[in-house]
């Protein structure tokens, strides 16, 4: 199975995150819309520009030049001090949102992540997931991202660097000659600045030139790095997404249906399939959920969601499904044609944090044993081989993931 990889890159992260924070604090002006820069101490002539708005760029201001030079070019430019705590805060908020899509996330830098979505698509397309993530980041977090869509990390990274901001680009193997080969070699990921003039001396000026060069010659001249850049120019990359298992603050899953569904019984089956996956992951992390959220998207792309608190935090498939079904019934109206269904659980706590009565403990232990027995069978025979009666038909509509990304 080919990998399904996304690369998420925050657009102008330091300036965007500063702007969002200031707007939250009541700032009337979005600094992304005025001549503005992020930098060090402007009282020091050595302070440099770390980030700039589009209006500042139009004035000729460049990243890494001194603030003193920037103010000469644009006397009315607004200067804002860098604040790493703010950057960490919004980087973490992005990471927590992405954890709702996959457990396999590599934090490549403070404003970049790789996502391995290979077993998390449920018959949806990778591009659709990218669109959903882009929309949610914009609406829920207040900033924009570029997303690269590909079958390996290299191509996803290259794709996310195409035109900006707020764009989604694909770069599949068949698209390499058209989209990647015409680019100058300096655009190739992991190609050092010192190597560029050496390649120019060999008449290698574009990524396409490098892809068609003699790889033995490149390896002889540049060693292992020469072979690597030749492989990269040809889109070859077997690197895995390096992720750490971290306990999420929320767990969710959604599916865009291959055809619209109007019958509530079918929607309930889909809801059960999604709930089972979400609670399976809850139990893998030894977490309990206190809040359940259900999302619906109609054929006209109208989104609606309801959430409710549980009486007691739980990881029980039965209890969370019952609450999710209640929420579905509250939102559903006869004749609604639904194209997307989503389930999310939030306000997660560890088991040790939950205090229960003796009666509730006995009830929960019985349900927990049942869920663990089903989980064990799934681990042994494959996730999709063991099916609850309430979702017997849903397999024809959505593909359930086999691997949940919890093992390195």
Q: Which residues are catalytic?
A: 112
Helix 264-284 / helix 317-331 crossing angle, nearest 10 deg: 140
Q: With left for phi above 0 and alpha for psi between -120 and 50, is residue 315 left, alpha or beta?
A: alpha
Q: With left for phi above 0 and alpha for psi between -120 and 50, is residue 60 left, alpha or beta?
A: left
351-357 LR contacts (CB < 8 Å, sep 24+): 351/286, 351/287, 351/288, 353/288, 354/288, 354/312, 354/313, 356/312
CA–centroid distance for 204 within its chain = 35
SS3 at position 355: coil
Residue 27 to residues 16, 83, 238, 330, Cα–Cα distance (Å):
14, 17, 46, 38
31-38 LR contacts (CB < 8 Å, sep 24+): 31/78, 31/80, 34/78, 35/59, 35/61, 35/74, 35/76, 35/77, 35/78, 36/77, 36/78, 36/79, 36/80, 37/61, 37/67, 37/70, 37/77, 37/78, 37/79, 37/80, 38/14, 38/80, 38/81, 38/82
The pair phi, psi for residue 289, each rounded to 5°, is -105, 145
Q: In what order do the strands lie in the sheet with 168-170?
A: 105-109, 112-116, 5-10, 145-150, 168-170
Spatial neighbors of 363 by CB under 8 A, at least 6 apart, are none
Asked if 93 and 110 touch (Cβ cutoff 8 Å), the reply is: no
Of 292, 49, 32, nearest to 142 by C-alpha is 32
Q: What angle do CA 101, 106, 108 make, to 5 degrees?
A: 130
CA–centroid distance for 304 within its chain = 21
The pair phi, psi for residue 212, each rounded to 5°, is -95, 0
């Amino acid at each position: 199975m080919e990998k399904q990889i996304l690369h998420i890159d925050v657009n102008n992260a330091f300036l965007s995150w500063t702007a969002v924070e200031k707007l939250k604090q009541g700032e009337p002006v979005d600094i992304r819309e005025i001549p503005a820069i992020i930098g060090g101490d402007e009282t020091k002539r050595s302070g440099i520009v770390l980030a700039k708005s589009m209006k500042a760029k139009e004035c000729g201001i460049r990243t890494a030049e001194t603030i003193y030079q920037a103010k000469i070019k644009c006397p009315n430019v607004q200067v804002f001090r860098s604040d790493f705590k703010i950057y960490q805060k919004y980087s973490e908020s992005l990471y927590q949102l992405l954890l709702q899509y996959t457990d396999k996330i590599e934090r490549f830098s403070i404003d970049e992540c790789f996502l391995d979505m290979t077993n998390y698509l449920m018959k949806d397309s990778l591009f659709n997931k990218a669109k959903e993530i882009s929309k949610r980041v914009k609406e829920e977090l207040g900033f924009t991202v570029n997303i690269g869509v590909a079958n390996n990390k290299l191509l996803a990274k290259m794709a996310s660097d195409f035109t900006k901001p707020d764009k989604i680009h694909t770069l599949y193997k068949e698209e390499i000659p058209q989209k990647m080969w015409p680019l100058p070699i300096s655009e190739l990921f992991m190609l050092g600045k010192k190597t560029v003039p050496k390649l120019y001396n060999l008449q290698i000026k574009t990524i396409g030139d490098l892809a068609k060069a003699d790889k033995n010659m490149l390896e002889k001249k540049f060693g292992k790095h020469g072979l690597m850049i030749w492989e990269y120019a040809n889109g070859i990359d077997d690197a895995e997404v390096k992720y750490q298992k971290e306990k999420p603050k929320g767990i969710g899953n959604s599916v865009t249906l291959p055809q619209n569904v109007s019958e509530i019984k079918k929607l309930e089956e889909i809801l059960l399939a999604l709930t089972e996956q979400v609670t399976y992951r809850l139990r893998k992390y030894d977490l309990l959920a206190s809040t359940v959220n259900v999302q619906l998207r109609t054929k006209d792309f109208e989104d609606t969601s309801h959430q409710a608190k549980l009486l007691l935090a739980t990881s029980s498939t039965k209890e969370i499904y019952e609450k999710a079904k209640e929420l579905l019934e509250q939102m559903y109206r006869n004749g609604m044609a639904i194209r997307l269904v989503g389930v999310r659980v939030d306000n997660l706590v560890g088991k040790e944090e939950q205090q229960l009565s003796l009666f509730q403990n006995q009830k929960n232990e019985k349900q927990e044993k049942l869920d663990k027995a089903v989980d064990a069978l799934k681990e042994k025979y494959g996730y999709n081989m063991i099916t609850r009666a309430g979702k017997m038909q849903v397999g024809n509509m959505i593909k359930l993931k086999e691997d949940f990304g919890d093992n390195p």
